[in-house]
Amino acid sequence: LMFKIVILLWLWQQMVASGPSDGEFSKIGNVTSNVVVQLQFDDSEHADIVANKHGYKNMGKVGSLKGVYWFKKYDHYISKREIKERLDGDPEVLWHEFETPKKRVKRDGLLDDESNRQSTRESSVEWPDPLYSQQWYLNGFVGDGMRVREAWSMGYSGKNVVVSILDDGIQGDHPDLAANYDAMASHDVNDGDDNPYPRDNGDNRHGTRCAGEVAAVAGNSFCGVGVAYNARIGGVRMLDGPVSDRVEGSALSLRQQHIDIYSASWGPEDDGKTFDGPGRLAKMAFYQGVTEGRNGKGNIYIWASGNGGTFKDSCSCDGYTVSIYTLSVSSTTFDHKQPWYLEECPSTLASTYSSGLINQPAIVTTDMPNTCTTHHTGTSASAPIAAGIVALVLEANSNLTWRDMQHLVVRTSDPTPLLNNPGWIVNGVGRKVSSKFGYGILNAEKLIRLGKKWKTVPTQHVCTFVYEMPDPILLNGQFLKNITINVNGCPQGAPVRYLEHVQLVMSVQFSRRGDLRIRITSPSGTESELLPPRLNDGSDGGFIKWPFMSVQQWGENPEGKWIVTLENVGNPNNRGTFHDCLLTLYGTEEMAQPSELEMDEELGKNSPPALFGTSNFVSDMAGHQVQFGQGQHAPK
């Protein structure tokens, strides 16, 4: 009964916190008064002139997006149509769009409740931090787990790596974060300044919690230990106010040459009936980040896969998790079960630990203000753990690109502890993969070992195949329709021989969207469910050019027949039309190196002797650049 009550309270909390209404958005001005433009010239003074010409004030650049500025005027008496005509007619304005609100939710799992919570056994004390003994996902309670301790014993702690938490802010002077806080990785998009300190109203602790998972200082006898306890940590305050495409674009493009990893534990509503994703500016930020960030190696965007399991939601309907530019992370409980909030989709790459039922252990981290918590929850907690692990890997090899990191995750994640959960398949190259957990639990030690030997992945090729459709296909009654797309070579040039991402962009109108199931089957026989039925989704609008994505065919040769299956699993009176379909294959012509055989030989070697749990722990670790007290780090 207590569990049901807590779940109901959590569902109510999610509805209340589902995002700003139009009324809330109007607090920063009439919607037509806020406009984002891209100019021919990336020059702030010139932007001032253009803004003034149209009766606006230039509020500055949108993040680091080239030529993109935010114009604003509060007292607008000009009609939206006239404003649009003026901007359309200005040759210096490449494009413009009026700022509109977006609903975004933080991906917590449960309300705080310590009653009846199962405790973990205390491990031998390895750090003096009082809550380390409760960090079951780091201290060995779950066996091999994510092998973070082994990564520490190899001398890696995230040194010189910069992580930014995109959320509701960060308490940068928190006792367990201050030594690692990086002001250059921080910004307040909501208020337009460089101080992302959260508004202390009880609702804005989410970002500080996520930050502590990544980079809480080790050995200072306070709270617990971050996965990458010597990484530089910053935060962007963007969820504590109206969220728009401008807000997201600003956050995702913040100082892309300084920040290595962005961690996001939020997204569209996880209500089982929403289709939503990044707008034009957020998409620009992602693309600019992966192509130009980190001096061309690409920023790494870690994304929480979603908490809509209770509503039978699917992360395939979340445009952030289906982006090829994000590393989408799911969750598993301490006993390697599927959490009740987990969403399934074939774009999930891997999993880390998080909370389970109300009486099961959750995640230990920093909290607002100046405190700690032992019950951070949901996929919100999984993404920052992944960000910390990625920071360890980047310390070991800073030359890894964003695609290198995804290759490494696919090759080294461990499915074995999770195989008792249903839904696993074996793809065409023999890898086990799941729509619940991706390729398994992240393994920090294996990621580092392979990452140190990794050769930069070959050039990405993109091959697009259009399903020719002279007229829309009727979808009436109780149907199961297959369409076939033949892949032979590549219309755009060099072929893809080794798959990475598979994207299917579709437009479908259907009388009840939640009754529609869509699957794709590769020539190797790997079947992925791109869209499962969603009981709550009663929309009759369908979707327009939605980019479904799968990573489950990773490594396969795409040559041959691809089969797309559409099925009505609901009311036989449903009606609809299938308008267009575009299959895009991302991958390489040559195999990534080292080869599978070389990888197996390398990862099969014995691990180094464990340095933890010994009476001489401090002196043992001294030779591995680990120091207690101040959370030592080197400036970026």
Catalytic positions, please?
167, 206, 380
CB-CB neighbours of 252 under 10 Å: 31
Q: Between the CA of residue 153 and those of 58, 384, 444, 523, what are the distances in Å? A: 51, 21, 11, 43
Please name which of 205, 271, 213 lies closest in space to residue 240, comparing C-alpha atoms.
Answer: 205
Residue type, 415: P
Phi-psi category of 446—alpha, beta or left, where left has phi over 0 and alpha has psi -120 to 50?
Answer: alpha
Radius of gyration, CA atoms only, the chain: 24
Name the packing angle between helices 402-412 and 444-453 (round to 10°).
Answer: 130
Please name which of 516, 512, 517, 518 lies closest in space to residue 539, comparing C-alpha atoms.
Answer: 512
Query: CA 187 to CA 169: how far, in whole Å?
Result: 8
Query: CA 93 to CA 49: how far, in whole Å?
Result: 12
Burial class of residue 532, CB neighbours in 10 A (0-12, 13-18, 19+)? buried
CB-CB neighbours of 28 under 10 Å: 18
User: Phi, psi (5° rounding) for residue 609?
Assistant: -55, 140
Q: Are 97 and 36 in contact (CB under 8 A)?
A: yes
Q: Between the CA of residue 278 and those of 311, 465, 490, what are the distances in Å? A: 22, 24, 28
Q: Between the CA of residue 601 and those of 17, 33, 137, 467, what are the distances in Å? A: 49, 61, 27, 42
- Tokens representing 451 are 């990452």
**Which residue reads 């310590």 in tokens?**
114
Q: Are 143 and 439 in contact (CB under 8 A)?
A: no
